[in-house]
Amino acid sequence: MGATEVAERVETVETLIEQLDLVVYNDDVNSFDHVIESLVKVCRHDSIQAEQCTHIIHYKGKCQVKRGTFTKLEPMCTALLDRGISAVIE
């Protein structure tokens, strides 16, 4: 196994370890339309993806709506919270 191959594997593992999830939780306050619109604007979902996530949130109680680094997810989480949507980074 060459040094280049080892370096690539280490980099891949480090990238995977750094990945976190932005999770949205169900509540009794926000409408489907508000959550869908928020996922489109904040998380850059297309309308179908946002609608599917919203149904999962409603029926399962939560949904992982985005995966990435903390630096990428933190502004999205803050924006969702500012819109009154329960969201956390896990």
Q: To which residue do tokens 């949130």 refer?
A: 57
Distance CA(80)–CA(88), nearest Å, equals: 9
Domain positions in the chain are 20-89
Bridge-based pairing state of the strands 20-25 and 62-68: antiparallel
**Residue % of the chain over a pLDDT of 70:** 81
Q: Determine the pLDDT at residue 18.
A: 83
* 3 state SS of 42: helix
84, 30 contact by CB (below 8 A): yes
Copy the structure tokens of residue 73.
């997810």
pLDDT in tens, 4-48: 666 666 666 556 668 999 999 999 999 999 999 999 999 999 999
Q: Just give the CATH number of 20-89.
A: 3.30.1390.10
* 3 state SS of 22: strand
